[in-house]
A and B are shown apart, each in its own frame.
Chain A
Amino acid sequence: MALFRKTRYSQVGTREIKNVPKNIASKCPECKHVHIEKDLSQKLKVCDRCGHHFSLPAKQRLKQIVDEGTFRETDSGLTSIDPLNFPEYAEKLEQVREKSGLNEAVITGFGKVEGIEVGLGIMAPEFMLGSMGSVVGEKITRIINKAREKKTPLIIFSASGGARMQESIYSLMQMAKTSSALARFSEAGQLYISVLTHPTTGGVTASFAMLGDINIAEPGSLIGFAGPRVIQQTIGQKLPEGFQRAEFLLEHGFIDRIVERKMLKKELALLLKLHEGGEKVG
């Protein structure tokens, strides 16, 4: 009897829970500590035991970064359809919309960061893994163009599993579209800060996420073009420790800085301030 009770107790105490109930608790993939979801959200979804950064839903990101009451969403009515009549896609969209409470995998708009007006794109990893289809590409393109017209800086928070396969070629072409819009934005002499968060892969990496004047990543984020599983299958060996993590990209020269989530707003504000008042030369 005593043994039984001890076992039960120890299962909870040593965090050996196998099936963590979703939406109530989350297990840290690094240190395996089980967090109550509500507490975790209050800590910006960062594990206070080991510093692991859980992926952050778009609305929480918005709340963390943008000054309260200053955000005006743009193009919220832009909605994906199923252009290729792809099996199960329309149903999937319907489900995800309901579950996430979002219309698509990115929220765009204007708001203030410590009083500075910026154009914002915030990807939603909770919406079909933040995959990029026509609507994501179009919304990102529009906010780039609007920020150019309004002469504001631009910050995009990426989080994406890559292409929206169900939109095939349309999905692929969004890479060209967003990158082309950024060419003109850059030409106009305006600041674009790209924040890469866990995970940023595929077509998003190979377009707007890598094109910041300044590329910032959150610690430990998976960032790459090809997915780790595909690479492992191709080369037939285990991937080295830390491969495709933010620290790996910093070491190889593809991002400027790694910034912890709790410092992110301050750092973005500082960078914005350092670019204030500058006019394009020439």
Chain B
Amino acid sequence: MASWEKQLAHLEEKIKELEIFAREQNIDLSGEIKALQEKAKKIKGEQDQDIAISPWQRVKLARNMERPTTLDYIGMICEDFVELHGDRLFSDDPAIIAGIARLGEQPVTVIGHQKGRSTKDNIARNFGMPHPEGYRKALRLMEQANKFNRPIITFIDTPGAYPGLGAEERGQGEAIARNLREMSGLKVPIIVTVTGEGGSGGALALAVGDWVGMFENAVYSVISPEGCASILWKDPGKAERAAESLKLTAEDLKKAGVIDAIIEEPEGGCHLDPKEMGKRLGEHLEEIVPYLQKMDPSSLLERRWERIEKIGVWTQETQTQKKVSQ
């Protein structure tokens, strides 16, 4: 037990004693008790800030049902949102929301994974797990944004692509691949924000861009901790360990050069103060969008390619040297 924990335990014991004593003796000790409670609170508060939130705790925060969804953020940061539906090929995918809106004065195309806010809503939204039509709708509207020279803003919050029969039948692999290829060549700025869960290919299909921001408690990885644990260690119960190993936090990804900025969340997570989170996100985007928009399309593309191409770690052995690249 750390010394602060001992101190806290001691204080709490004392508080209890005083409460019992006061009740039994029928005397008023509320002032004294309150003072001790304040002291205990202070110790706790200090410790909360000191103890780092573990990767597994962040996974849970990122999945918290109370967390604002893409539609909430669009409502908070944009004006005049007009939702647009359908991939023009098969159907509309409610797990991805898309449309046109105004960010400040600037018309933008907004696209993001959409989770439900209740169980019923979540079922309708397939828990934010897209089908191929979702990626194809997204690409259709990104190409539209390209035509009308509108910046594209995407929000990432999905457990991953949906592993179902229809999704495979309709080629989700092809749909994701096509988005990755086409997004790398669109001539308008693409600004990505990972707001919750960045689950594998289903996340990446909306996340190739010029600037990737990530919420402080969001996570982003190639596989879920549960999936990783069950494949590698045949035990989904080892998810917590997998969450550590996968290096999926915003801080890890900043170090890896995969994201450009961490957007701080209100204390305890953005679900505790959605309005404040919306404000921070809005400020972030209003700073980044004009900055990228000033770039001419060819340098924008050059920069996007470089950003993608540099990601990876290896050694290169030649006859005379061993070079570590990152």
Query: In which size bucket is the chain A interface?
Result: 35 or more
Q: Known A169-B220, A170-B256; judge A206-B201 contact (CB<8 A).
A: yes
Interfacial chain B residues near A165, Cβ < 8 Å: 222-223, 228, 231-232, 246
Bound Cα distance from A141 to B169, whole angstroms:
28
Interface flag for A179 (CB, 8 Å):
yes
Query: Which residue of B169, B172, B227 contacts A206 across the interface (Cβ within 8 Å)?
Result: B172
Query: Which residue of A141, A183, A224 contacts B168 across the interface (Cβ within 8 Å)?
Result: A224
Q: Known A81-B314, A86-B245, A172-B222; judge A206-B173 contact (CB<8 A).
A: yes
Interface flag for B85 (CB, 8 Å):
no
- Which secondary structure dominates chain A's binding surface? helix
- Interface of chain A residues 178 through 217 with chain B (CB within 8 A): 179-184, 186-187, 202-203, 205-211
**A254 and B311: CB pair below 8 A?**
no
Interface flag for B45 (CB, 8 Å):
no
Min CB–CB distance B88 → chain A (angstroms): 16
Interface flag for B15 (CB, 8 Å):
no
Interface flag for B181 (CB, 8 Å):
yes
User: Could you mark each residue 203-221 of chain B with 1 if its beta carbon is under 8 Å from any beta carbon of chain A, else 0?
Assistant: 0110010000000000011
**B247 and A84: CB pair below 8 A?**
yes
**B232 and A176: CB pair below 8 A?**
no
Bound Cα distance from A122 to B21, whole angstroms:
79
Min CB–CB distance B312 → chain A (angstroms): 3
- Interface of chain B residues 158 through 182 with chain A (CB within 8 A): 161-165, 167-174, 176-178, 180-182
**B221 and A134: CB pair below 8 A?**
no
Min CB–CB distance B190 → chain A (angstroms): 12
Interfacial chain A residues near B256, Cβ < 8 Å: 83, 169-170
Q: How many residues of chain B are within 8 Å of chain A by beta carbon?
A: 57
Interfacial chain B residues near A202, Cβ < 8 Å: 201
Q: In the complex, what residue of chain B is closest to A86 when comparing beta carbons?
A: B245
Min CB–CB distance B293 → chain A (angstroms): 21
User: Could you mark each residue 288-326 of chain B with 1 if its beta carbon is under 8 Å from any beta carbon of chain A, else 0?
Assistant: 000000000000000011001101111111100000101
**B177 and A207: CB pair below 8 A?**
yes
Bound Cα distance from A202 to B163, whole angstroms:
11
Query: Which residue of A167, A175, A187 contacts B180 across the interface (Cβ within 8 Å)?
Result: A175
Bound Cα distance from A197 to B35, whole angstroms:
72
Interfacial chain A residues near B222, Cβ < 8 Å: 163, 165, 167-169, 171-172, 203
**A77 and B317: CB pair below 8 A?**
yes
User: Could you mark each residue 117-148 of chain A with 1 if its beta carbon is under 8 Å from any beta carbon of chain B, else 0?
Assistant: 00000000000000000110110010000000
Bound Cα distance from A243 to B164, whole angstroms:
11
Interfacial chain A residues near B172, Cβ < 8 Å: 206, 225-226
- Interface of chain B residues 128 through 187 with chain A (CB within 8 A): 161-165, 167-174, 176-178, 180-182, 184-185
Min CB–CB distance B199 → chain A (angstroms): 10
Bound Cα distance from A76 to B314, whole angstroms:
12
Interfacial chain A residues near B247, Cβ < 8 Å: 84, 168-169
Q: In the complex, what residue of chain A is closest to B132 when comparing beta carbons?
A: A225
**A137 and B177: CB pair below 8 A?**
no
**A80 and B314: CB pair below 8 A?**
yes
13 residue pairs of the A-B complex, CB under 8 angstroms, read: A84-B246, A134-B311, A134-B313, A138-B312, A173-B308, A175-B180, A179-B177, A180-B180, A184-B185, A206-B180, A211-B177, A239-B165, A244-B168
6 more A-B contacts (CB under 8 A) besides A210-B173, A224-B173, A226-B167?
Answer: A141-B309, A205-B173, A206-B172, A206-B173, A206-B180, A230-B163
